[in-house]
Chains A and B, each alone.
Chain A
Amino acid sequence: MTGWLHQQSRALAAALRRLFAQPASTLLTALAMGVAISLPSGLYLALDNLNRLAGNIPAQPEISLYLDTAIKPAQREAIATLLKRHPALESSRHVPRDAALKALGESHGLTDITAGLERNPLPDAWVVRPRETTAAALAALRSELEKLPGVEQVQLDSAWAERLQAALAIGKTLVWLLAGLFGVALIAISGNAIRALILAQRDEIEVSRLIGATDRYIRRPFLYLGALQGLLGGLAAGCVLAIAGWMLHAPVARLAGLYGSQYHLRAPTLTEIGAVLAATTLLGCLGAWLTVARSLRQVEPPR
């Protein structure tokens, strides 16, 4: 056990030595990884902030029911009774067509036009407020109201919120897609960086193999190297995002101020930072593994 620990610490020390022996290329590799990883993680943060913004808006969706202009009085009565007593509704308000026309004329300064109309083109309407505001409850209520006899059209005012949610869902998929793609890119970047180091170390690998080194022994320092390089890449991504957040902070605060909101950008949590660093470390290690495996086969081809 102590022997094992000893070998690990020696491999780690060797990896650190090799990393610091070429600070310029180490830094460049870390930067390339950082930029690659900052794209999906930045998009993730942006979406999360947008999501929070959408959640902040007082969600009081209203449903408007437009009645058929040729509605029978009995149906009109039935609708009025139902809407007054419906358990899923918090409140309901009748908007007679004349009042609607008058309001339209007043609110939009269209009095001239509305006055010039031969007859009122607007239907009678009800505006109701549902108790439950989840998307599923709203959709159920909407389809129920649509089926009422005498109802021409039902309009859900929260449609934009649903669309935003749908857009955010696409964004989330995009984050995972980008994360996958840039994860592969990270493996390639790490593998490439390790390949250069292996070339410089080719003699040592060959001689070590000849005097009894196992593949594991040869692989070990390179795996540490890949992991450290990945970790540095993750930290570089953190720096890129920190700079982006710092640059965005003031403009976002100003925009929020214009809306009279206290909204501000959310920084990533420790868990999120830890997850990204763990992922980049692991991917760096994986890239190193693939490259070393290939080189070992070249040094001593299997027969």
Chain B
Amino acid sequence: MINFNQVSKRYPGGHEALSNLSFEVAQGDLVFLTGHSGAGKSTLLKLIAAIERPTSGVVSVSGQNVGRMSRHAVPYLRRNIGLVFQDHKLLFDRNAIENVVLPLDIAGFDRRESLKRARAALDKVGLLSREKANPIGLSGGERQRLCIARALVSRPALLLADEPTGNLDAGYAADIMAMFRDFHQVGTTLVISTHDERAIAALGGRVIHLDHGHIKAGAA
């Protein structure tokens, strides 16, 4: 599903975030990215979603060379990827369900069908009762669940989560990780960057450990 071949990413100014990475993630895999902050976890996820482009090497997703993708083609790649951000990136000018329905609006689905699916996604993350609430009134854990609902609503084959439990206390974090396990069980490919050792132990799955842009262990 995802293939990194000798990928390096150097930011303007000379900082090399990733050095010569090669690994593969098969369809249906559950992969944890670990490493200290600044090790390159976020950069790696951004390369997969074509938010950043590699300085050298090839990043391919479902057989497409993502690093060489035209600006025009990138949106269609992203519609098949669910993105969960540490800072949620929710829109505060609209209520919860309008946030969740946004990817479907963008993809041009019928409005009534979209709302039905958005409600199903909210139900899955346990926020159906808050569909009219503004995200600004939600707790950190609820916001993260809302962000997950938005990532899920278009039923992506691949879900990327960047420190999804980074700002949450242990109880909320366990909830969220349990949700990810459910998605993994229905066949979604997941790549999750996290510090949460307990979650990794609880969920199993592969671990890619990054250290200063290099893979240390667990990459097969």
Contacts of B106 in A (CB 8 A): 208, 211-213, 217
Interface residues of B (CB under 8 A from A): 49, 51, 53, 71-72, 75-79, 83, 89-93, 102-103, 105-108, 110-111, 150, 154
How distant is the Cα of A165 from the Cα of B193 in the complex, in angstroms?
A: 79
A211 in contact with B83 (CB, 8 Å): yes
Report whether B72 and A208 are in contact in the complex, using a CB–CB cutoff of 8 Å.
Answer: no
Q: Which residue of B lies closest to A297 (CB)?
A: B71
Q: Does A6 lie within 8 Å of B108, measured CB to CB?
A: yes
Residues in B with CB closer than 8 Å to A214 are 72, 75
Task: Using A207-B89, A212-B103, A217-B106 as known contacts, say yes or no to A302 and B75 having CB atoms under 8 A apart.
Answer: no
Instruction: Please name all residues of chain B whose beta carbon is closer than 8 Å to the beta carbon of A208 when the two chains form the complex.
Output: 102, 106
Q: CA separation between A212 and B106, bound complex, in Å?
A: 7
User: Which residue from chain B places its CB closest to the CB of A4 in the assembled complex?
Assistant: B108
Q: Which chain B residues border A206 with CB–CB below 8 Å?
A: 89
Query: What is the CA–CA distance of A10 and B104 in the complex, to the nearest angstrom?
Result: 13
- Is the Cβ of B71 less than 8 Å from the Cβ of A212? no
> Which chain B positions have C-beta within 8 A of A3?
108, 110
Q: How far is the CA of A209 from the CA of B89 in the complex (A)?
A: 12
Closest Cβ neighbor of B67 among chain A residues: A303
- Taken together as a complex, chains A and B put the C-alpha atoms of A209 and B71 apart, in Å, by 11
Q: Sort chain A's interface into a size bin.
A: 20 to 34
Residue pair A211, B102 in contact (C-beta under 8 Å): yes
- Asked if A204 and B91 sit within 8 Å, CB to CB, the answer is yes
Cα–Cα, bound, A274→B182 (Å)? 60
A153 to B72, CA, bound (A): 75
Chain A to chain B: the 10 pairs with minimum beta-carbon distance, closest first: A212-B79, A212-B78, A213-B106, A214-B75, A212-B75, A211-B103, A303-B53, A207-B89, A3-B108, A212-B106
Residues of A211-225 at the interface with B, using a CB-CB cut-off of 8 Å, are 211-215, 217
B93, A213: Cβ atoms under 8 Å? no
Query: In the complex, what distance in Å separates the CA atom of A81 from the CA atom of B71?
Result: 85
Given contacts A210-B83, A210-B89, A212-B76, contact A302 B107 (CB under 8 A): no
